[in-house]
Amino acid sequence: MDDSTAYHVNESSLDVVTQYTDADYEMYVWEVIKPNFVELIFVPIFAMLLLVGLVGNFLVILIVLCDNHMKTVTNMFLLNLAFADFLFLLFCLPFTILWDITKTWWFGTAVCKLILYTQTVSVTVSIITLSTISVERWYAICRPLMFKHSLLRTKLLLAFTWIVGLILSLPELIVLKVKPWPFLRPNFSTIVSIEFVTFSLCNTFKVFH
C-alpha cells in the first residue's frame, strides 16, 4: 500500500468516526465484524481440521502413555510432537478463526498473551524436536558407536526442548498487548458492548521471529 492509499484509508476511517451518527456507526461496525460468505465457508473446514487434529494427536498421546511396550525412543519423540501439535491446535485455530473473520480480538490482554505465547512455545518445541530427531538419526547412522540409545536420555532431551521453547517465547509475554483500533469512537453511546471489543488487535512487534 503506497502513502496516498494509506492516507485515503485513514482519512475515510476518520470520516467514519467524526461524521457518522451513532446509528450509522453501529451499522458500519457490524458490517466490518460480520463474516462474509467466503469466511463462513472456511469455518466448517477449519472446525473439521481442528477436530481431526485434536482427536488424532490425543490418540497418539494416549496409546504411547498407556502401553509400556510403546515407550521407545522413537515414540517418545512422536509423543512430544503430538503433544506440541495438540497444544497448537487447541490454542490456535479456535481463536484465530474468530479473530480472522471478525477482524477483532475479543478476549482481553491476559488471554492475548497466554494464547500467542502458548502458540509460539508449541511451534518452537515442534521445530526443536524435529531438529533433534534429525541429529539423532544422523548419529545412529553415521556414528553408530558414539550413539547412546537411552530412553532416560531421550526424556531429558525432550524436557530440555520444552525449557528452551518456554524461554525463547518469553518476549511474547512482554511485548504482546491488546491495542484498540485507532479510529474507534470514544463517545459511541448506542451499544457500549461493541465499543469495548470492536477493532481490538492482539499484536506484537514480533521482535524475534
Of the candidates 88, 100, 90, 96, which has an alpha carbon nearest to the alpha carbon of residue 112?
A: 96
What integer is the mean pLDDT of 32-39? 72
Cα separation, 86 vs 93, whole angstroms: 11
- What single DSSP character describes residue 105? -
The secondary element (H helix, E strand) that includes residue 177 is strand 177-179
Give the rounded distance of the alpha carbon of 194 from its chain centre: 24
Q: Write the pLDDT tens digit of every residue in 169-180.
A: 888 888 777 776
What integer is the mean pLDDT of 98-110? 77
What's phi and psi for 74, nearest 5 deg?
A: -60, -45
What integer is the mean pLDDT of 57-63? 95
- The pLDDT, as a whole number, for residue 37 is 75
- The pLDDT, as a whole number, for residue 64 is 92
On the question of pLDDT at 198 being above 50, the answer is no
- The pLDDT, as a whole number, for residue 192 is 38
Q: What is the pTM of this model?
A: 0.71
The architecture of the domain spanning 3-203 is Up-down Bundle (1.20)
Q: Write the pLDDT tens digit of every residue in 118-171.
A: 988 999 999 999 998 888 888 777 776 666 777 888 889 899 999 999 999 888
Residue ranges per structural domain of the chain: 3-203
